[in-house]
Amino acid sequence: MMSELLFECYQVPKVSYGVDSLYSLYHNRRQDWPCNSLIVSSGYQCTHVLPVLEGRLDAKNCKRINLGGCQAAVYLQRLLQLKYPGHFAAITLSRMEEILHEHSYIAEDYIEELQKWRSPEYYESNVHKMQLPFSSKLLGSTLTSEEKQERRQQQLRRLQELNARRREEKLQLDQERLERLLYVQELLEDGQMDQFHKALVELNMDSAEELQSYIHKLSLAIEQTKQKIIQAEVSIEVDVVDSKPETLDLDPLGSEQSLEDVESIHEFEPLFAEEQPEAEKPVTTVEPVFNLAEYHQLFLGTERIRVPEIVFQPSLIGEEQAGIAETMQYVLDRYPKEQQAVLVQNVFLTGGNTMYPGLKARIEKELLEMRPFQSSFQVHFASSPILDAWYGARDWALEYVNREEGWITRNDYEEKGGEYLKEHCASNVYVPIRLPKQAPRTTEALAPTKVLAASVGNPCDQA
């Protein structure tokens, strides 16, 4: 698809494809380096171990580990979010990548390094503190007197509206209760004594005098509530600073349901007290209960070695894969001992995920353990692990720009298709697509079909 896009859409004259780590090796090649190398390339998504023999990639023995910088950043994010749940939103993936690049390192001996972190002295001297962004502005500490006055007015208006709404609800309930009591009184006046006594039992009353007393009290309560609603509507137009919040009135009948709906707002009265002049007002300073800066700090201890260790021990994050050391051993074991000795003379490290301090020492330690006694090996770093792939591609293109080696021309594309690849020193291996040939059908297999077709398809012969 890339070849089709470049040739058909952009009309490029020729194009070449290559492997990033091979381009990096091409850019870092030296006169004293052998043409055989074992490349360890660890990038953002995965890690590769690539053997190079006689200057060409041995593709059939390459191995990949599906772990890189992305998985390490996600792992660090998960660890810190569990450690600091109060800063869950601030522990972002981009911030974890920055912490990973600046504060993590590879331990030469992971278990031994963990034992060191058990010492409080070692912890205090090696822990890294990360400061998260925060605001030291306290709520209400920078408000002017006019803003405070306006806030009190808004709070008072809300409480008055709440008080008025509850009065209206209470008035509606009292009116419904009064209508029911008046209906029971009409039953008495109409002489319907059976229904009247039955209604008294439902109302938990004993006599007509008690019913009359409740009707009288409820009527007075309704009138008082109406007067208070009218007064509240008038007082809203008055300056709210000079008015005081009223206490919700109680049900004159003393019923339990009315008591549940009542809420006093005396506790809010200090909020609406008239502000004292600046001269009379005592000067007070608001001090935070705890240090906000310290609360927004992240402490990086064992996470500094625990996170990058996943490329050597994928089991730390639950991945059933081999680490870099085991994969290198597996690749080397696929060659005879003579070729193994040649490959380890240039173990080349490249890729952004190889920039941890201590990685070279860890690789050398792993090679020392897996190689035979008194055997030699050399580990080299790319000069710029992140950019050397681009520099190598540039170097190769400038050197081979006038040659045919490695370039796919437009004629090659039109003749051989978009999947065609020309090999060069930094390319992958071209594997042509071979479609399986269909087995020809034999005459014996077709004969019965023909006979059947003749016997069925020619009605004249049947006649």
Compare 272 and 381 and report the one with higher pLDDT.
Answer: 381
Q: Give yes or no for residue 148 having a pLDDT over 90.
A: no
Mean pLDDT, rounded, for 393-416:
92
> 0.75 exceeded by the pTM?
no
Q: Looking at the domain that runs over 2-64+330-349+378-416, which CATH code has it been given?
A: 3.30.420
Q: Do 265 and 163 contact (CB within 8 A), yes or no?
A: yes
Per-residue pLDDT tens for 94-110?
999 999 999 999 999 99
Q: Looking at the domain that runs over 70-136+294-306, which CATH code has it been given?
A: 3.90.640.10
**Across the chain, what does the average pLDDT equal?**
82
Q: What's the pLDDT score for residue 441?
A: 66
Compare 431 and 294 and report the one with higher pLDDT.
Answer: 294
Structure-token pair, residue 291: 């240090």
Q: What's the pLDDT score for residue 270?
A: 45
Range in 317-331, 416-430, 445-459 the model is least confident about: 445-459
Q: How far apart are CA 306 and CA 116, in angstroms?
A: 13
Q: Give yes or no for residue 251 having a pLDDT over 50.
A: no
Percent of the chain with pLDDT over 90: 49
Q: How far apart are CA 424 and CA 400, in angstroms?
A: 10
Q: How far apart are CA 267 and CA 264, in angstroms?
A: 8
Task: Pick from 147-151, 157-161, 346-350 the range whose average pLDDT is largest.
Answer: 346-350
Find tokens 């039992």 and name the residue. Answer: 201
Q: What's the pLDDT score for residue 98?
A: 93
Which sequence spans correspond to the domains of the chain? 2-64+330-349+378-416, 70-136+294-306, 145-272
Mean pLDDT, rounded, for 44-52:
95
Spatial CA neighbour of 224 closest among 261, 250, 262: 250
Per-residue pLDDT tens for 351-372?
999 999 999 999 999 999 999 9
Mean pLDDT, rounded, for 48-56:
93
Confirm whether 2-64+330-349+378-416 and 70-136+294-306 share one CATH topology.
no
DSSP assignment letter at 299: E
Q: Give yes or no for residue 171 having a pLDDT over 60.
A: yes
